[in-house]
Chains A and B, each alone.
Chain A
Amino acid sequence: MASSIRASDTSVGRELGPSRLDGLGGPHPRSDAKGVSAARSSSLWRDGVRRLRRNRLAVAGGVVVVLLCLIAIFADFLAPLPYTKTNFSRLNEAPTRAYPLGTDQLGRDLLSRMIYGARVSMLVGLGAQVIVVIIGVPIGALSGYVGGRTDLVLTRFVDVMYAFPRLLFVILVMSMLGAGLTNIFIAIGLTGWVGIARQTRAQVLAIKEKEFVDGARALGAGFGRVLGRHVMPNALTPIIVAVTFGIPEAIFTEAALSFIGVGINPPTPSWGQMVGEGQQYIRSYWHLCVFPSIAIAVTMLSFVFFGDGVRDALDPKLK
């Protein structure tokens, strides 16, 4: 259940040094912080996990997410056939015993292709968030903490990026870079960091005025230490929430791009691409687009349920 949190955590954690978030599963070891804040912080995470466990929808979502990750990792062992294996004597076949979900236009096993499709979706969903966090969090943190002219320039830039219709911009970038998995990472990373940057900035702005930050500064902590050790750990909650919602958003973007044909390059299978190709034959061969559609729907719903749960668990005020 915690796997998706972990995965997104590592992306956040990479920014802030290891062990920042390990406390999610248990007490939070924090050698440098003062006793009071350490106790409060560890109980926040423990409370969060407890609240998350009680939310049945979120747990169900989390279980499906873990399953999907496992399917993605072990696709090579799970898929009955390679995703490129064609069988031209059995084209567009409805589900049978040999091909549980049927075959596609080239006689390839739909089940195998869907299993490999999970790999693309999970990679994009989790991987793109790493880029988004690496770009967005430092920009937002700097903007909020330094203030002044830096803040002005950065916020203007962020505002301009925000005004662009996002999907349109992603398509534009994709047609510039060409289709392919790496380029999807780049396109989503380039457009997705804006939201997280805004969120981080707002948090940092609020936290840097608090007394404990003044205290740290008075004790002689430098710029990097104050920001990294004292401000950012307290700004993490909304960032984590934003990341959990960014995952389904990235998965959606990849599916949408592949649906149009500017996403993943064939023959690598992607659910969005399978729906895009299959929907042209929906009248004759319904199975071609229905199964990948179900996969996308289930994945998106699981992530949203899980994300809702994480938000409610970490920030009960927001509910």
Chain B
Amino acid sequence: MFHYVLSRLLWLLPTLLAMALVTFLVMHATPGSPLDPVSEGANPLSPEAQKNLAKYYGLDRPLYEQFAIFVSKAVRGDFGYSFVYKTRTVQEIIAETFPISLLLGSMALVLAIVGGLTLGILAAVYQNRTWDYVSVSLATVGVAVPNFVLAVFLIILFSFVVPLFPTGGWDSPRNWVLPTVALALAPMGIIARFTRASMLEVIRADYTLTARAKGLGEGPVIFKHALKNAFIPVVTLLGPMFAAVGTGSFFVEAIFRVPGMGRFFVLSMTGRDYPMIMAVVLTYGAFLAVMNLVVDLLYGVFDPRIRY
């Protein structure tokens, strides 16, 4: 077990290095440079000024040297100053915005798991009855409709038609509700579909019949015997789910004006903000990798047949 965790954590390093390298290469292969003027059609900086700036940021060095410098600094947690927000370091920006995205993502994930399991169980227990249709259609809408479209519908419904929640912002928990729901619906739909399928299988299994035969009520049969086994395939979904919630968040954050990390996914890339691009991709990649490890360990907890 210890060895397993250790080796997985050690594997993290080459993975992140490969991610950094690919991002670095794509980023530098992109036409346009951080030294180009920010606003469109503006006069470019004079060649001398460009030279000085390139020197200041180390952009005049050969690429392999730039990459080596980046890695040696990044290992110490130093990503340098942002090219766009020139007075702030990348670490500052990430430290300020990442926790917000993390909170939003975690709330969405909890809602997705709880909601998805509930819908899936209801659908399986009441197969081919009203509850089944309600949950399956909810799940399908969640899976099929992009979250920024869902966000628009949520705002119309719950901010305008029934003014329950504000249209955006992040000041109070009341602001958190709509973005969380918008972000949660897609993973919730996937979890619900999987739970339904695996519950249907488990409910017909012999051990469920045994549980019923020994006189257990419907509650214990479903929750103690069926759900425990039906949950195993659902756990494998959680890894990709983190990725979905992570990338999904920048649309939701944009619509609900959440001051999270999501907007830097796009802004840093279109703004050629090299240090920011690297930091965002690596933060996201590292987070995903750690979460995948957690999910794999959880898998062992839920399925005792698996040993590491």
Contact A282 B26 (CB under 8 A): no
Q: Please, how many angstroms separate the alpha-carbon atoms of A279 and B151 in the complex?
A: 10
Residue A297 lies at the interface, judged by CB distance under 8 Å to chain B: yes
- Known pairs A171-B265, A301-B141; A282 contacts B167 (CB<8 A): yes
Q: Which of B31, B149, B254, B281 contacts A168 (CB 8 A)?
A: B281
Contact A175 B149 (CB under 8 A): no
With a 10 A CB-CB cut-off, give which of A171, A178, A261 has the most chain B CB atoms. A171
Residue A283 lies at the interface, judged by CB distance under 8 Å to chain B: yes
> How does the 8 Å CB contact mask read for B133-152 relative to A, with 1 for contact and 0 for none?
00000001101111011011
| Inter-chain contacts of A283 with B (CB < 8 A) | 167
Q: Please, how many angstroms separate the alpha-carbon atoms of A300 and B142 in the complex?
A: 11
| Inter-chain contacts of A303 with B (CB < 8 A) | 144
- Total residue contacts A-B, CB cutoff 8 A: 90
Minimum CB distance partner of A161 in chain B: B22
| Inter-chain contacts of A290 with B (CB < 8 A) | 152, 156
Contact B160 A286 (CB under 8 A): yes
| Inter-chain contacts of B156 with A (CB < 8 A) | 282, 286, 290
Q: How distant is B263 from chain A, measured CB to nearest CB, in Å?
A: 10
Contact A297 B246 (CB under 8 A): no
The secondary-structure label for the interface of chain A is helix
Residue B288 lies at the interface, judged by CB distance under 8 Å to chain A: yes
> How does the 8 Å CB contact mask read for B8-20 relative to A, with 1 for contact and 0 for none?
0000000100110
Q: Please, how many angstroms separate the alpha-carbon atoms of A305 and B140 in the complex?
A: 9
Residue B247 lies at the interface, judged by CB distance under 8 Å to chain A: yes
Q: Please, how many angstroms separate the alpha-carbon atoms of A166 and B269 in the complex?
A: 15
Q: How distant is A27 from chain B, measured CB to nearest CB, in Å?
A: 34
Contact A176 B30 (CB under 8 A): yes
Q: Please, how many angstroms separate the alpha-carbon atoms of A256 and B285 in the complex?
A: 21
Which residues of B92-151 are within 8 A (CB) of A?
A: 140-141, 143-146, 148-149, 151
Q: Which of A172, A173, A275, A305 contacts B148 (CB 8 A)?
A: A275
Q: How distant is A231 from chain B, measured CB to nearest CB, in Å?
A: 30
| Inter-chain contacts of B167 with A (CB < 8 A) | 282-283
Contact A289 B251 (CB under 8 A): no
Which residues of A153-172 are within 8 A (CB) of B?
A: 160, 163-168, 171-172
Which residues of B251-278 are within 8 A (CB) of A?
A: 251, 254-255, 265-266, 269-270
> How does the 8 Å CB contact mask read for A163-205 relative to B, with 1 for contact and 0 for none?
1111110011101101000000000000000000000000000
| Inter-chain contacts of B281 with A (CB < 8 A) | 168
Contact A256 B146 (CB under 8 A): yes
A contacts with B, residue count (CB < 8 A): 37
Residue B91 lies at the interface, judged by CB distance under 8 Å to chain A: no
Residue A259 lies at the interface, judged by CB distance under 8 Å to chain B: yes
Residue B170 lies at the interface, judged by CB distance under 8 Å to chain A: no
Q: Please, how many angstroms separate the alpha-carbon atoms of A239 and B153 in the complex?
A: 34
> How does the 8 Å CB contact mask read for A288-305 relative to B, with 1 for contact and 0 for none?
011001001100110111
Contact A252 B146 (CB under 8 A): yes
Q: How distant is A13 from chain B, measured CB to nearest CB, in Å?
A: 27
| Inter-chain contacts of A275 with B (CB < 8 A) | 148-149, 152
Q: How distant is A292 from chain B, measured CB to nearest CB, in Å?
A: 9
Residue B89 lies at the interface, judged by CB distance under 8 Å to chain A: no
Q: Please, how many angstroms separate the alpha-carbon atoms of A293 and B153 in the complex?
A: 8
Contact B247 A167 (CB under 8 A): yes
Q: Please, how many angstroms separate the alpha-carbon atoms of A167 and B243 in the complex?
A: 10
Contact B149 A301 (CB under 8 A): no
Residue A260 lies at the interface, judged by CB distance under 8 Å to chain B: yes
Q: Which of B15, B27, B148 contacts A279 (CB 8 A)?
A: B148
Residue A236 lies at the interface, judged by CB distance under 8 Å to chain B: no
Contact A259 B148 (CB under 8 A): yes
| Inter-chain contacts of B26 with A (CB < 8 A) | 172-173, 176
| Inter-chain contacts of B254 with A (CB < 8 A) | 260
Minimum CB distance partner of A300 in chain B: B144
Contact A301 B265 (CB under 8 A): no
Q: Please, how many angstroms separate the alpha-carbon atoms of A167 and B147 in the complex?
A: 13
> How does the 8 Å CB contact mask read for A260-288 relative to B, with 1 for contact and 0 for none?
11100000000000011001001100100
In addition to A256-B146, A279-B152, A303-B144, 8 A-B residue pairs with Cβ atoms within 8 Å of each other are: A165-B243, A171-B266, A172-B269, A176-B29, A248-B144, A260-B251, A262-B266, A279-B151
7 interchain pairs, CB-CB under 8 A: A172-B26, A262-B270, A279-B255, A282-B156, A282-B167, A293-B153, A303-B144
Binding site for A on B (CB under 8 A): 15, 18-19, 22-23, 26-27, 29-31, 140-141, 143-146, 148-149, 151-153, 155-156, 160, 167, 243, 246-247, 250-251, 254-255, 265-266, 269-270, 281, 284-285, 288
